[in-house]
Amino acid sequence: MSFRQFIREFRLRRFIYARGHRNPIVKALAKQAWKNWSAYENQDFRLTRNGEIWIADNIAHWFGAKSAGAYVDVGANMGEWTDHLSATCPFAKIHAIEIAPTTHAALAKSLGQRPNVTLYNIGFADKAGEMTLYLNRSSETTGLYHHPAEAKVESVTAQVVRGDDFLKSNNIGPVHFMKIDVEGAEFDVLTGLEQSLAGGVIDVIQFEYGIFNIASRKLLKDFYEKLDQHYVIGKLFPRFVEFRPYHIKHEDFAPANYIAVRRELAPLIAHLQK
């Protein structure tokens, strides 16, 4: 082997980490590097630090108190997002959707008296009817898909509707912001909203991507293909959105939230990516 070939083949990182795979010190260094990368990529579902609160406030204040647009929380869970937005932006008309009966009951106790919040014990899907609701390890992971890491969970039957039908029957629209956090069923929710998406009814969408996409078998690529015609898509960070085209390297099933903004709203897109 020539010196040039040796340089081409030799990589210090591979020499240290691959050959030292069983070394506890090397393992610790690799684990810390992974944690740093996870933080850098904002792989975090805590809405108080991952940008979810920041973007909710930004969208509400961008459209302002004079706008008649609604805010829809699909998968409201215990209502942390709705609670914050209704308190800090009292002008925002919020519709909170929670499919699990026990979680909805707790939500009604805490937020049922808010004048700018309307609660619904229903779920969104790609078709109307009854579906199996998997009671995964907590209310935060309960949903229409079985958690990939859990062998067996209890389940109940729950009622679901298409988002298009729900918005029309409740006379909701335009929708300035729709947050979708439904543990793997995000693509199904968007499928049930295709008329609203094409018709410009929803200005901004936030959808979750992560481990539940293994269960739903929906790739990030599928979301881009569904939304790309009418929306610009980017990944949410604590204080900005990184709008970017799809790349296979982002297909990692790691915790993330993505933002889709209607293409016509170029000033808002510019504002969010600063």
pLDDT > 90 fraction of the chain, expressed in percent and rounded? 76
Considering the domain delimited by 46-272, tell me its CATH architecture.
3-Layer(aba) Sandwich (3.40)
Write the DSSP assignment of the chain as a string of letters. --HHHHHHH--HHHHHHTTTTT-HHHHHHHHHHHHHHHHHTT----TTTSSHHHHHHHHHHHH-TT---EEEEET-TT-HHHHHHHHH-TT-EEEEE---HHHHHHHHHHHTT-TTEEEE--EEESS-EEEEEEE-SSTTT-BSS--TT-S--EEEEEEEEEHHHHHHHTT---EEEEEE--TT-HHHHHHTTHHHHHTT-EEEEEEEESTHHHHHT--HHHHHHHHTTTEEEEEEETTEEEE----GGG-S--SEEEEEEETT-HHHHHHHT-
- What pLDDT sits at residue 6? 61
Q: In the predicted model, what is the mean pLDDT of residues 107-124?
A: 95
Task: Report the pLDDT averaged over residues 233-245.
Answer: 97
Band (pLDDT 50/70/90 cuts) for residue 8 is low
Q: For residue range 211-220, what is the model confidence (pLDDT) as tens digits?
A: 999 999 999 9
In the predicted model, is pLDDT for residue 2 greater than 90?
no
Whole-angstrom distance, CA of residue 79 vs CA of residue 96: 8
For 23-70, how does the pLDDT look when each residue is reduced to its tens digit (9 = 90+)? 999 899 889 999 999 999 999 989 999 999 999 999 999 999 888 899
The dihedrals phi and psi of 220, each to the nearest 5 degrees, come to -60, -35
Global model pTM greater than 0.75:
yes
C-alpha 89/C-alpha 270 separation (Å) is 22
Domain positions in the chain are 10-38, 46-272
Residue 175 clears pLDDT 70, i.e. is over it: yes
Give residue 149's pLDDT band: very low, low, confident or very high (50, 70, 90): confident
